[in-house]
Chains A and B, each alone.
Chain A
Amino acid sequence: MTTLHSSRRTALARGYRRTEPYRFLSPTIILMLVLMALPIGLVVSYSIYDNVITNRNPSLVGLENYIKILSDPTFTIAIGNTVFFTVGSVAVHLVLGLGFAMLLNSPLISAWVRGIFRVIFILPWLFTVAIIAVLWRMLLSPNGVINYLLVTLGLPAQQLEWLSDPQLALWAVTFINIWAGYPFFMISLLAGLQGIPADLYEAATVDGASPWQRFIHVTLPQLRPIIISMMLLDLIWTSQQFALIWMTTGGGPITATEMLSTYTYKLAFSRYEFALASTSAVLILAMSMVLAYFYARHQKARD
């Protein structure tokens, strides 16, 4: 009797212990199901109905919405703009981030000078996108200080309408995004630079390598894993940018700065085409997942 009782108790205790990690994880699992699995399931199902949310009895239309979205010329334009904006931002983020990180890592400046400049260099990243958008609308306005500086330097003859000229708007929003986003690269690359063992440089110097050769043969190979991770993350995040575009140009003039995110948002919340918007959202998800796959594979390879 006692043995039976105690063995049942150990069994209970073992069961209790086995479920223990899941009890710690249960809020996370529930939240992930409600906030991720369910919404993704919903958006995929929305995309195969004719109209949802506004329509009480939507009917199944299969892949019709996908054909509509993929044959919409604005969708193609939005893809082109998103690629330009994303690739341009990421490339310059890397160059600026690496350049500033190397300046900050220079042994020729004292620690407190480095500290002050580091804070100044990080500043753009600390402001919310809504504020960055309003600030640059002021700076880039035809009567704004940027045009004043360019005219003073003798560059363009007339005042440029940076955000409302179809020729310039995409360049302007890309520039703003570059300004706002390079510090994140810089922080990570600075950490990476500080992690490179000094004897690698010493050995290269002994071998007679010039500063440029040391950069190419020591610095870059050592930073390679960080650079690849940061570029993939930045590609994922920049291609999803919404607030900056929405608050500076709204995707215009006409479609000059239309991104996949603004295109989808307008379909849903200006035209109330929730089914078509969901279709577009599913396509964006698929593209992001391709990038996420490469990111996850790269991270795994580094472990």
Chain B
Amino acid sequence: MTHYTVRRRLTRLAVIVGLLAGAAFAGLPILWMLSSSFKANPEIFAYPPQLVTPGFSLDAYVSILTDPVKIRFFINSYVVALSVVALTLLVAIHAAYAFSRFEFRGKRWLSTIIISVQAVPPITLLIPYFGLVVSLGLYNTYPGLILTYMVFTLPYAIIMMTGYFNTLPRELDEAVRVDGAGSMTALWRVLVPVSVPGIVSVGVYTFMIAWNEYLFALTLTRTEDMRTVPIGIQLLMGQHSYQWNEMMAMSILGSIPVLLLFLFFQRYFIGGLASGAVKS
């Protein structure tokens, strides 16, 4: 064995040790969440702690999935997140088309505003939103939440969608317009069908933001039947003296949609996200 291969093997060993250490750092807490969701409650703080305990059961999951109050948290989260995705995509596709295919007065100005909106602190908007939502009668309603979430989803969706349209040749939709069709037709019949990967990655990102939002869900809803999953987890914490197994089970159930979306659309999603951060 030459000096060179020894060094190469040592480097390889160091890389593998580093990867395993990183995986432990990132993954062990999540593994512990999973394991705790299958434990009986007294076993969670048992000494010494064990990953798998004799009391293994699905009780925590059953008690969540059979409780209409907790099911309602999930329904609310789905209604809100899916509505936000649909509305955001609808608005963002039109806006991105204008940014990508037209020259018009105020274009730079508008795009600067849309970029800087992302830096406005949610807490700054919360107080006037609370006032507005209450006075419009939208307090504790779906439309109140859906509308407010769009301020966080729309800017990024427009930026990502514009970037995606810019990668498609102009000739594609211009050909249809020359043939006499309106630009609306060119957008929906030609551009949108070939943009499915971009639309999917924007949709997944939007879904994640809406599904995970906490501050506005906490403040703009009041009754249990309007609460979303993140608030439901917190309510569980306040209820019957810390049912840790139920909280962990609800955390797992509450993460499944995002985890599945991520696993299925990883390729589009990471690509879109990274190019947004790298270029934008």
B-contacting residues of A (Cβ < 8 Å)?
18, 20-22, 24-25, 27-29, 31-32, 35-36, 38-40, 42-43, 46, 52-53, 99-100, 103-104, 106, 108-109, 113, 117, 119-124, 126-131, 134-139, 141, 143-145, 148, 179, 183-184, 187-188, 190-192, 195, 226, 229-230, 233, 236, 239-240, 242-243, 246-247, 260-261, 264-265, 268-269, 274, 277-278, 281-282, 284-285, 288-289, 291-292, 295-296, 299
Given A134-B251, A281-B124, CB of A21 within 8 Å of CB of B154 = no
Q: Is the CB of A130 within 8 A of B120?
A: no
B76 located at the interface, meaning its Cβ lies under 8 Å from any Cβ of chain A in the complex: no
In angstroms, Cα B123 to Cα A53, docked, is 16
Which residue of chain B has the shortest Cβ distance to A232 in the bound complex? B119
Write the B4-34 contact mask toward A (1 if CB under 8 angstroms, else 0): 0000100110011011001101110110110
Q: Is the CB of B278 within 8 A of A188?
A: yes
Partner of A39, one of B12, B29, B112, B129: B129
Q: How far apart are B118's CB and chain A's nearest CB, in angstroms?
A: 8
Which residues in A have their C-beta under 8 angstroms from that of B127? Answer: 43, 46, 53, 264, 268, 274, 277-278, 281
In angstroms, Cα B91 to Cα A285, docked, is 26
Which residues in A have their C-beta under 8 angstroms from that of B129? Answer: 39
The total of interchain contacts (Cβ-Cβ below 8 angstroms) comes to 267
B145 located at the interface, meaning its Cβ lies under 8 Å from any Cβ of chain A in the complex: no
Q: Is the CB of A28 within 8 A of B91?
A: yes
Q: How far apart are A262's CB and chain B's nearest CB, in angstroms?
A: 9
Q: Is the CB of A103 within 8 A of B15?
A: yes
Partner of B97, one of A24, A187, A246: A24
Q: Is the CB of A138 within 8 A of B248?
A: yes
Q: Is the CB of A285 within 8 A of B25?
A: no
In angstroms, Cα B129 to Cα A129, docked, is 22
In angstroms, Cα B185 to Cα A41, docked, is 38
Partner of B123, one of A113, A127, A281: A281
Which residues in B have their C-beta under 8 angstroms from that of A139? Answer: 29, 32
Number of B residues whose C-beta is below 8 Å from A? 93
Q: Is the CB of B18 within 8 A of A131?
A: no
Partner of B251, one of A131, A141, A183, A239: A131
In angstroms, Cα B246 to Cα A262, docked, is 27
Which residue of chain A has the shortest Cβ distance to B155 in the bound complex? A32
Which residues in A have their C-beta under 8 angstroms from that of B154? Answer: 28, 31-32
Which residues in A have their C-beta under 8 angstroms from that of B230? Answer: 128-131, 243
In angstroms, Cα B26 to Cα A273, docked, is 40
Which residue of chain B has the shortest Cβ distance to A185 in the bound complex? B277
In angstroms, Cα B11 to Cα A187, docked, is 23
In angstroms, Cα B147 to Cα A21, docked, is 23
Partner of B215, one of A38, A46, A144, A243: A243
Given A25-B94, A28-B91, CB of A179 within 8 Å of CB of B254 = no
Which residue of chain A has the shortest Cβ distance to B103 in the bound complex? A21
B79 located at the interface, meaning its Cβ lies under 8 Å from any Cβ of chain A in the complex: no
In angstroms, Cα B118 to Cα A233, docked, is 9
Q: Is the CB of A123 within 8 A of B27?
A: yes
Which residues in A have their C-beta under 8 angstroms from that of B94? Answer: 24-25, 27-28
Partner of B237, one of A27, A134, A145, A236: A134
- Sort A-B residue pairs by CB-CB distance and give the 6 closest, nearest first: A292-B119, A130-B230, A191-B274, A128-B212, A39-B128, A21-B102
B258 located at the interface, meaning its Cβ lies under 8 Å from any Cβ of chain A in the complex: yes
Q: Is the CB of B95 within 8 A of A25?
A: yes
B80 located at the interface, meaning its Cβ lies under 8 Å from any Cβ of chain A in the complex: no
Which residue of chain A has the shortest Cβ distance to B33 in the bound complex? A135
Q: Is the CB of A31 within 8 A of B91?
A: yes
B44 located at the interface, meaning its Cβ lies under 8 Å from any Cβ of chain A in the complex: yes
Q: Is the CB of B19 within 8 A of A42?
A: no
Partner of B121, one of A38, A230, A288: A288
Which residues in A have their C-beta under 8 angstroms from that of B151? Answer: 31, 35-36
Q: Is the CB of A131 within 8 A of B131?
A: no
B71 located at the interface, meaning its Cβ lies under 8 Å from any Cβ of chain A in the complex: no
What are 9 A-B pairs at a CB distance below 8 A? A39-B129, A40-B120, A40-B128, A121-B22, A124-B30, A179-B29, A188-B278, A278-B128, A296-B115
